[in-house]
Amino acid sequence: MNKPVAVSEEVLATPVVAPEVGPRAAGVTGPAYIVLAAISVSHFLNDTMQSLIASVYPILKDNYALDFAQIGLITLAFQFTASLLQPVVGHFTDKKAQPFSLAIGMSSTFFGLLLLSVAQQYLVILIAAALVGLGSAVFHPESARIARLASGGRYGFAQSVFQLGGSFGTSMGPVLAALIVVPFGQGSIAWFSSIAFLAIIILWRIGMWYRPQIATRTMVRIEPHPDAPSSRRVTVALSVLVVLLFSKQLYVSSLSSYYIFYLIDKFGVSTQAAQAYLFVFLAANAVGAFLGGPLGDRFGRKIVIWFSILGALPFTLALPHAGLVMSAVLTVFIGLIISSTTSSIIVFAQELVPHRFGMISGVFFGVAFGIGGLGAAVLGKLADHTSIAFVYQVCAFLPAIGLLAVFLPKMPRHAR
DSSP string covering 170-221:
HHHHHHHIIIIIHHH-GGGGGGGHHHHHHHHHHHHHHHHHHHHHHHT----P
| Per-residue pLDDT band at 144 (split at 50, 70, 90) | confident
**8 pLDDT more than 50:** no
Region 208-229 average pLDDT:
62
Q: Which amino acid is at 249?
A: Q
**65 pLDDT more than 50:** yes
| Per-residue pLDDT band at 369 (split at 50, 70, 90) | low
332 Cβ neighbours under 8 A, 6+ residues apart? 280, 281, 284
Q: What is the pLDDT of residue 193?
A: 85
DSSP code at position 119: -
| Per-residue pLDDT band at 24 (split at 50, 70, 90) | very low
Best CA proximity match to 306, nearest among 330, 337, 346, 333: 337
| Matching CATH number, 31-218+231-408, of 1.20.1250.20, 3.40.50.1820, 2.40.50.140, 1.10.443.10 | 1.20.1250.20
What do you get for the CA distance between the two ends of the chain, in Å? 24
Instruction: State what percent of residues in the chain have pLDDT above 70.
Output: 85
Region 319-347 average pLDDT:
89
Region 89-103 average pLDDT:
78
Range scoring the smallest mean pLDDT among 100-104, 113-117, 208-212, 369-373: 369-373
| Per-residue pLDDT band at 11 (split at 50, 70, 90) | very low
| Per-residue pLDDT band at 173 (split at 50, 70, 90) | confident
Please state, rounded to an integer, the average pLDDT across all residues of the chain: 79
Best CA proximity match to 394, nearest among 382, 404, 403: 382
For the chain, the C-alpha Rg in angstroms (whole number) is 21
d(CA 315, CA 321): 10
Region 347-360 average pLDDT:
78
**271 pLDDT more than 50:** yes
d(CA 202, CA 106): 11
Q: Which amino acid is at 356?
A: R
Instruction: State what percent of residues in the chain have pLDDT above 90.
Output: 10
| Per-residue pLDDT band at 332 (split at 50, 70, 90) | very high
pTM over 0.85: no
